[in-house]
């Protein structure tokens, strides 16, 4: 039994890290608001978005394994660079704003326990720890840390287990979609889809598959192309496992906040910290502690993923050396983008930029880019010349294009909300 568990754990890799990174502090705030404002009404988004996320991320990973290249590099080779410049610029901007918001949220949470310390101290400490680990720890070790950090998401599942849910209502609202064409319903669905199907995850997934292949000794594109397809089945288990983890956590956060905050008449949650604090008198100290632990754990996971995603995009766009497996002196541009992403995110908190406003701007940037990124992914994954026998099937292609249409609607709704 232990040997089987160990084998499963070793099989898990980029997919689990990607799925866990999707549930960052800003995502937690969105899911908390969903449960507090609407109760169990939108639980169905967890299983339905699982299918959309899983199909898209599996395509990204498959593109990497079959071509031996990251997503940005594939776009640069097969399509116009102008689209890549447009797409990459907005993703990097959104990632930097998201890093700032996540840093602020984590520092805010730490202040709940360390009330006498100024806000800037935990803020700087978190940024410094993140950079030191990402820049100076080898990829092999760092990937292990990221995988363990992904397990902090289990805190939300444990929080849900502690509480007594209304199982009949939960089962109904999980599998029977409920939706009214009101402004509130439209905006919350757009917010959740925008949070779960994020462009930075597309680029991170493909590049991490390449990192994993290089870590196994496949240092050239030719070696990766020759060997990559053999790893597709294992990759699919990993990706779908990661997306399941991401969405089951979304499910439990919504359910926990619906069972406590919504039922107690607390319907307006604007931050992850507020969600944690509001839970304490309703769900007890243990639930409060677990919820807070999850915020910190996912923050330490998401910030390096966001920063590295920007670095992969920049380096692959301009054909610079890239990869966490390289030392900083051998991939200066790559690591410079990581450092600058975190530093600019840190500075946003000192210029008085409201974290919620930063997330709004992030949503706008992601909404503009996600449909473009999805079109590139579908064109690559469905191209027989590029993918050969591993190109998209009819069902995968249909779900992919359906996801793209939904994200275009999300983009329109987001822009309508802002402007």
Residue-range domain boundaries for the chain: 23-418
Question: Given this model, what pLDDT does residue 405 score?
Answer: 94
Give the CATH number of domain 23-418; options: 2.170.120, 3.10.350, 1.20.1740, 1.10.10.
1.20.1740
Q: Are 63 and 74 in contact (CB under 8 A)?
A: yes
Q: Over the chain, what is the mean pLDDT? A: 86
Question: Is 160 or 12 the better-scoring residue by pLDDT?
Answer: 160
Percent of the chain with pLDDT over 90: 38
Question: Given this model, what pLDDT does residue 133 score?
Answer: 87
Q: How confident is the model at residue 347 (pLDDT cuts 50, 70, 90)?
A: very high
Non-local (6+) Cβ contacts of 244 within 8 A are 19, 50, 54
HEC sequence for 344-389: HHHHHHHCCCCHHHHHHHHHHHHHHHHHHHHHHHHHHHCCHHHHHH
Q: Which helix (H) or strand (E) holds 288?
A: helix 285-317
Question: Given this model, what pLDDT does residue 8 score?
Answer: 53
For the question of whether the overall pTM of this predicted structure is more than 0.75, the answer is: yes
Average pLDDT over residues 93-114: 88
Question: Given this model, what pLDDT does residue 2 score?
Answer: 54
**For the ranges 110-124, 157-171, 209-223, 391-405, the one whose mean pLDDT is highest:** 391-405
Q: How confident is the model at residue 356 (pLDDT cuts 50, 70, 90)?
A: low
């Amino acid at each position: 039994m232990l040997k089987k568990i160990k084998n499963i754990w070793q099989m898990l890799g980029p997919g689990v890290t990607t799925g866990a990174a999707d549930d960052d502090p800003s995502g937690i705030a969105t899911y908390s608001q969903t449960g507090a404002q609407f109760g169990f009404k939108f639980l169905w988004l967890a299983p339905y978005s699982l299918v959309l996320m899983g199909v898209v991320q599996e395509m990204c990973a498959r593109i990497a394994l079959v071509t031996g290249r990251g997503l940005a590099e594939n776009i640069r080779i097969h399509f116009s660079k102008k689209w890549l410049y447009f797409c990459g610029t907005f993703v990097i901007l959104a990632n930097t704003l998201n890093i700032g918001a996540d840093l602020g949220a984590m520092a805010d949470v730490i202040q709940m326990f360390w009330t006498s310390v100024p806000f800037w101290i935990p803020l700087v400490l978190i940024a410094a720890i993140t950079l030191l680990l990402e820049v100076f720890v080898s990829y092999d070790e760092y990937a292990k840390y990221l995988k363990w950090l992904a397990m902090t998401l289990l805190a939300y599942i444990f929080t849900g287990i502690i509480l007594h849910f209304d199982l009949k209502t939960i089962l109904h609202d999980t599998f029977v979609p409920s939706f009214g064409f009101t402004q509130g319903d439209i905006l919350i669905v757009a917010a959740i889809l925008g949070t779960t199907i994020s462009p930075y995850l597309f680029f991170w997934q493909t590049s991490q598959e390449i990192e994993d292949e290089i870590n196994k000794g496949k240092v050239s594109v030719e070696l990766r192309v020759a060997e990559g397809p053999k790893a597709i089945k294992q990759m699919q288990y990993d990706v779908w496992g990661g997306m399941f983890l991401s969405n089951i956590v979304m499910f439990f956060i919504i359910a926990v906040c619906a069972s406590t905050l919504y039922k107690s008449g607390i319907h307006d949650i604007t931050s992850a910290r507020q969600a944690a604090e509001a839970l304490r008198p309703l769900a007890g100290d243990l639930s409060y502690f677990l919820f807070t632990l999850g915020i910190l754990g996912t923050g330490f996971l998401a910030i390096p993923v966001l920063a590295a995603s920007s670095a992969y995009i920049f380096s692959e766009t301009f054909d610079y050396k890239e990869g966490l497996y390289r030392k900083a002196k051998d991939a200066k541009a790559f690591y410079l983008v990581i450092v600058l992403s975190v530093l600019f995110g840190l500075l946003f908190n000192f210029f008085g930029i409201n974290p919620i406003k930063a997330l709004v701007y992030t949503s706008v940037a992601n909404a503009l880019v996600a449909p473009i990124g999805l079109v590139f992914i579908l064109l690559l994954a469905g191209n027989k010349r590029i993918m050969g026998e591993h190109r998209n099937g009819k069902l995968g292609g249909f779900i992919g294009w359906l996801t793209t249409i939904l994200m275009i609607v999300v983009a329109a709704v987001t822009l309508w909300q802002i402007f």
